Amino acid sequence: MSQAEHHIVPIKTLTAVIAVLGVLTIVTVAAAQFDLGSFNVPIALLIATIKASFVISIFMGLKYGNKTNALILAVGLIMVVVFVTFILLDTEFRGDTSATESGTIMQSEQTMPAAESH
């Protein structure tokens, strides 16, 4: 039947992928032993993303399969990005409503002669 026509991932490929994943795990642990300052998080995330893409494309067969499934995954990931980004838009700027430090409208009003009524 038709399922016999599915792409069969060769054992050689699978073995190569698991080897890469193992090495990358060691790399990420090793990288974490050094303090790279603000690069700590991006490097850890970059390595994790590379690992995940290997699992997705080869182990899960997304590379060989139906493109619709890749689109589904992409849409899901976009939503995760939306979720994180928009919440950070709030949490990173929390309190800016009442921020009246230098350079704000309030202050410029105070320095302007028209605002002498203060």
Residues at the interface with other proteins (CB under 8 A): 1-4, 6, 8-11, 14-15, 17-18, 21-22, 25, 28-29, 32, 40-41, 44-45, 47-48, 51-52, 55-56, 58-60, 65-66, 68-69, 72-73, 75-77, 79-80, 82-84, 86-97
Got the DSSP string for 3-68?
GGGSPPPPHHHHHHHHHHHHHHHHHHHHHHTS--GGGHHHHHHHHHHHHHHHIIIIIS-TTTS-HH
CB of 58: closest distance to other proteins in angstroms? Answer: 8
Q: Which is nearer to other proteins, 88 or 115 (CB)?
A: 88
Q: Which is nearer to other proteins, 22 or 115 (CB)?
A: 22
Q: Read off the DSSP letter of residue 94.
A: T
Q: Which is nearer to other proteins, 97 or 117 (CB)?
A: 97
CB of 113: closest distance to other proteins in angstroms? Answer: 28
- Between vectors from CA 57 to CA 60 and to CA 26, what angle results, nearest 5°? 95
- CA neighbours within 13 Å on the CB side: how many for 26? 5
CB of 78: closest distance to other proteins in angstroms? Answer: 9
Quote the CA–CA distance of 83 and 25 in Å, as a whole number.
Answer: 28
Q: Read off the DSSP letter of residue 99.
A: -
Q: Which is nearer to other proteins, 1 or 114 (CB)?
A: 1
